[in-house]
Amino acid sequence: MADRDPALAEAPAPGGYVGRAVRTLEGRAPIVGAARYSNDFRFPGQLHAAIVRSPHARARILKVDLSGARKVAGVVLAMDGREVATHLGPIPHYIDPATFGGKSAEVRTMAVDHVWCHGQPVAVVVAEDRRTARWAAAKVQVAYEVEPAVLSVEDAIAPDAPRVVPGWDDNVIMAVPFRNGDPDAAFARADHVVATTVRIHRFSTQPIETRCYNAVWEEETESLTLYGTAQNPHPLRHVLSKVLGMPEGRIRVHAPAIGGAFGMKMHGHPEESLVCLLAKLLRRPVKWVETREECLLIGAREQVHHLELAFSRQGDLLALRDRFFANTGAPSACPGWGMAFLTGLTMPGPYRVRDIDVTMTALVTNKPSWNAARGYGKEATALALELALDEAARQLGFDPAELRLRNFIPADAFPYASPTGLQYDSGDYAGAVRKAMEAIGWDGWRARQAEGPKDGRYLGLGIAYELTPEGGALPGTMVAGYDSSTVRVAPDGSVRVLTGVTTPGTGNPTGIAQIVADELGCPIEWISVVQGDTTTCPYGFGNYSGRSTIVGGGSAALAARAVREQMLKVAAAMLGVGVQALRLSNGVFDSGDGRTLSFAEVAYAAYTRAYDVASCITPPLEAQATFRPPSIRHSPDADGRINPYPSYSNAAYAAVVEVDSETGQVKLLGLAAAHDCGRVINPLLVEGQACGAIAFGVGGALMEEIRFDDAGHQLTRSFMDYVMPRAEDMPGVTMVHHDSPNPDTYMGLKGAGEAGVGGSAAAVVNAVNDALKPFGVAIHDLPLTPARVWAAIHGSGAAGGAA
């Protein structure tokens, strides 16, 4: 175990801003329409780019004829992929599979002579306005020789399957075994083995703000600025420097307000470097705004799990086997494929089983590429495990809650070394399940269910658990576990926090400001938080993996503490007392003998009396600090395993549904969650995040799906086809907290941004399957659309009898 960082124990006493439901400082601007999103950046002389995309899933490009587009008045440039490739190098992978022993495809900004998915960029047109650019793009003629596409994982693993990446010997990016103990022996001695196949479909995250990039060429300094939707400005700058062949010092990335990201605005997208190239070539600002149809091309999550669970007669889970396959679409430089790795690494979730035999196989296919999506593979672990456990409970006649309670890691076993090498920090899984069941009124619903169906409507109850490692760090990649902040106090006492973490709109600047206000002992209104700019902020890794408050807040606290020390020294000198005699709270230094100084007086003195009372410090009032969670371990253990996470959020979910046996419609009657994200900085922010993730889960379980035809054309092109939950689809969500502080982070924080998608989805699916119990059927193919539920009921042969 890593040594505890002594600084972690020194957090201010409770009673300040931390823990309170402070309204977001940055929330006013979007509400009054004053927030400045990427598309609100307009530059004189700005040009607009439109991208021509492949209508085919797999094809050879025979000829690209740009002449029609070039003839349109207002068009200034038209290029095909071959020409773009003469200017731009391959895009570096966010997480290169080769770093972990997998295969690394060369990913170009645009297709050069071969197309590997529907929607892949083939040509680009730049014009004086967006309309002209789109109009002219429609005039680009591309001759394709269409080839048979590889669409499913079954297609992809067939020995004679066409190769998605020309030159690869198969379609496997990476296959990883996660094996511990002696699973074969455990299966041999088991009383029961339950086999289940779980199919998780392709669903997405759809931020209301689609992606947008504005590239501006500064002739004076021969440098580029990208104003755009970027979760990770500094790492993106590094990528742009590699692709464009320019030093990082000549590139600035500025990420303004973001209207939702959920992983989709992590980088590796071809348009990032393409728009920069266009601005550089044309010496004029260039804008590209993603359409909703383009945004829907970014996939995630599609996996097939073949699970086997071995049980003793008493219901102890003795061993787990899972062969799972991820359909990650065409190769991409974005970090999407890594989701599959995390699905395996997070097995067996909150359960104490030690004998496991899990194999992850991440495959490329001719569907459009994945990018990271909230949950980052951990939602798939929860879905696979929780659906399989309920199937086991049904087959073996156990109560689903009892089966879980029997098999959880006990609360006194933390820190806990998981069979895949993770080190879980803390938790009380059984306690959380009991709280969630109580919150939803479990026993009352069970009693109503026992009264039998009414008018063909069947009640169902489901529970599920999700363990969500957050704050991840992968060695050799830009997925870093640490981050940095600078805290500055101005001569008037106002406080500026510059931090390397960014916000996708979650409110983390307010959480960081609460932490800094308590550390500095000043009102929160004096604090402003600056994020998302490579020129002004310390080098940082931005937003992903539920990290922003853990490492952004932790580093800001350490920096604020250093500034506080400086101010205390100055105040002590001004009052002629020892530092120990001073108390600082609510912006006032109090000597205890009736004399006080204001925060502003001390700040002004620190700047203006450097040869007098401030000679004891080094001006300005500014400090930078880094928080590096100590429990992340990248040196492999004897089995070659690492612990890439400092924080293991977890939550229990309970759902109640009513299934209309005649139509297959599922109505959600109740949802509850008991959530453990460690110490809660701001319950408003945590509950907002959790409710959002739960709605994601509901959408994924019941309705959201990206569909294709048999040739690999994507059919889902707008919100008319990709239907997310509306208010009428969501019941009230009862949130209760069940916090166990994390000993390895500042203030005991765990991530709170990612958890909930898989747990809530699994609870809903388990509730539907509970409702379907009288029909003797269960569905493990998602989503549970009314048609699918209806088909299960009416294919069961029990529809007449049970209804």
CB of 663 to other proteins, least distance (A): 6
Does residue 32 bind other proteins (CB under 8 A)? no
Q: Tell me the C-alpha distance between 528 and 380, whole Å.
A: 38
Subset of residues 697 to 736 that bind other proteins, contact rule: CB under 8 A: 702-703, 707, 715-721, 723-729
Decide: helix, strand or coil at residue 495. Answer: strand
Strand 423-424 vs strand 416-417: parallel, antiparallel, or unpaired? Answer: antiparallel
**Sign of the C-alpha dihedral computed for residues 148, 150, 154 and 156 taken in this order:** positive
Contact 172, 103 (CB under 8 A): yes
Which lies closer to other proteins via its Cβ, residue 170 or residue 729? 729
Binding-site member from 100, 786, 802, 803 for other proteins (CB under 8 A): 786
Report the run of H or E that residue 62 belongs to, with start and end.
strand 59-65
**Sign of the C-alpha dihedral computed for residues 584, 586, 588 and 590 taken in this order:** negative
Through-space distance between the first and last CA atoms of the chain, rounded to whole angstroms: 57
Binding mask 738-777 for other proteins (x = CB under 8 A): ----------------------------------------
Burial 215-235 (b: 16+ CB within 10 A, else e): bbbeeeeebbbbbbbbbbbbb
Binding mask 663-692 for other proteins (x = CB under 8 A): xxx---------------------------
Does residue 54 bind other proteins (CB under 8 A)? no
Q: Tell me the C-alpha distance between 759 and 697, whole Å.
A: 7
Binding mask 169-188 for other proteins (x = CB under 8 A): --------------------
CB of 761 to other proteins, least distance (A): 14
Q: Which of 702, 699, 705, 697 is nearest to 758 (CA)?
A: 697
Binding-site member from 138, 413, 579, 581 for other proteins (CB under 8 A): 138
Which lies closer to other proteins via its Cβ, residue 186 or residue 792? 792
CB of 790 to other proteins, least distance (A): 5
CB of 665 to other proteins, least distance (A): 7
Binding mask 72-101 for other proteins (x = CB under 8 A): x-----------------------------
Contact 358, 179 (CB under 8 A): yes
Helix ranges, 428-583 (H): 429-440, 442-450, 508-520, 554-575
Binding mask 610-649 for other proteins (x = CB under 8 A): ----------------------------------------
Adjacent-strand bridge partners of 180: 356
Burial 569-586 (b: 16+ CB within 10 A, else e): bbbbbbbebeeeebebee
Contact 370, 296 (CB under 8 A): no
Does residue 288 bind other proteins (CB under 8 A)? no
Binding-site member from 438, 601, 662, 781 for other proteins (CB under 8 A): 662
CB of 444 to other proteins, least distance (A): 26
CB of 293 to other proteins, least distance (A): 8
Q: Tell me the C-alpha distance between 657 and 458, whole Å.
A: 8
CB of 792 to other proteins, least distance (A): 11
Size of the site for other proteins (CB under 8 A): 34
Contact 341, 421 (CB under 8 A): no
Contact stretch for other proteins (CB under 8 A) within 4-12, 134-142, 495-503, 520-528 = 134-142
Which lies closer to other proteins via its Cβ, residue 441 or residue 786? 786
Binding-site member from 112, 791, 798, 803 for other proteins (CB under 8 A): 791
**Sign of the C-alpha dihedral computed for residues 372, 378, 384 and 387 taken in this order:** negative
CB of 215 to other proteins, least distance (A): 25
Q: Which of 303, 226, 302, 304 is nearest to 265 (CA)?
A: 226
CB of 523 to other proteins, least distance (A): 40
Q: Which residues bind other proteins (CB under 8 A)?
A: 72, 131-132, 134-135, 138, 293, 662-665, 702-703, 707, 715-721, 723-729, 785-787, 790-791, 794
